[in-house]
């Protein structure tokens, strides 16, 4: 789930805070839940603990959460290989602060944090098609024709299913990734394929 990161001038003074989701302070967790409820009414806050969720927040000087996202982690099998993958989920910017670069700053911080994770092979996620240029500008690679298959093997949920208009994006990391140091080869290995993500029944599409 990704909603309105926005970019532009006149961003408020902010700092980035990161927490294991289980250790997110209650006051911040309440703000994140409110932001997510505004963006996706009826959605249940929080993520499957099996995905080692990490919350990344952009917080203003007065303690207001300007933007938030979750980083999720799991191993996936693709093309006969096992990869350690991460994804962005629940990316949301406070409505009153959209268009001021808050989402761009937080996603940039997420990329830096993921690049520093030892042994992480790739970052992989989907977004609504109109948001794909934002994530490309942030440094992610669009995977033309790629489809993420979420849910479970018994109850799959694919990004090309009815009612979805999704793009799949990725970043390929390090010598242990699908392409080694060549991100273009990594993109070629995943573009146009169906990628069995299967994060489970909670985070059905990451």
Q: Rounded distance, CA 6 to CA 131, Å? A: 9
Task: Name the token pair of 42.
Answer: 């009826």
**What pLDDT digit, counting tens, does each position of 133-146 carry?**
999 999 999 999 99
Q: By CB neighbour count within 10 A (0-12 exposed, 13-18 middle, 19+ buried), where does 44 fall?
A: exposed
Find the radius of gyration of the CA atoms of the chain: 16
Query: pLDDT value at position 1?
Result: 58
pLDDT in tens, the chain (206 residues): 555 554 444 567 889 999 999 999 999 999 999 999 999 999 889 999 999 999 999 999 999 999 999 999 999 999 999 999 999 999 999 999 999 999 999 999 999 999 999 999 999 999 999 999 999 999 999 999 999 999 999 999 999 999 999 999 999 985 444 445 556 667 788 999 999 999 999 999 98
* Burial class of residue 86 in the structure, from the number of CB atoms within 10 Å of its CB (0-12 exposed, 13-18 middle, 19+ buried): buried
CA 63 to CA 44: how far, in whole Å?
A: 23
Task: Report yes or no on whether pTM surpasses 0.95.
Answer: no
Distance CA 125, CA 140 (A): 10
CB atoms within 10 A of CB 50: 13
pLDDT of residue 43: 87
């Amino acid at each position: 789930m990704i909603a309105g990161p926005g970019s532009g001038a006149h961003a408020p003074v902010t700092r980035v805070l990161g927490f294991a989701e289980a250790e997110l302070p209650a006051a911040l967790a309440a703000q994140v839940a409110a932001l997510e409820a505004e963006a996706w009414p009826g959605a249940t806050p929080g993520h499957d603990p099996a995905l080692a969720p990490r919350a990344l927040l952009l917080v203003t000087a007065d303690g207001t959460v300007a933007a938030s996202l979750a980083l999720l982690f799991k191993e996936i099998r693709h093309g006969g290989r096992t990869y350690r993958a991460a994804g962005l989920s629940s990316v949301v910017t406070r409505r009153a602060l959209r268009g001021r670069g808050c989402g761009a700053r937080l996603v940039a911080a997420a990329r830096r944090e993921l690049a520093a994770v030892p042994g992480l092979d790739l970052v992989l996620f989907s977004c609504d098609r109109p948001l794909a240029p934002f994530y490309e500008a942030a440094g992610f690679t669009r995977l033309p024709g790629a489809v993420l298959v979420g849910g479970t093997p018994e109850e799959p949920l694919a990004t090309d299913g009815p009612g979805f208009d999704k793009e799949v994006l990725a970043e390929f990391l390090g010598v242990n990734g699908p392409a080694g140091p060549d991100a273009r080869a990594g993109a070629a290995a995943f573009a146009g394929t169906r990628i069995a993500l299967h994060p489970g029944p909670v985070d059905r599409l990451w």
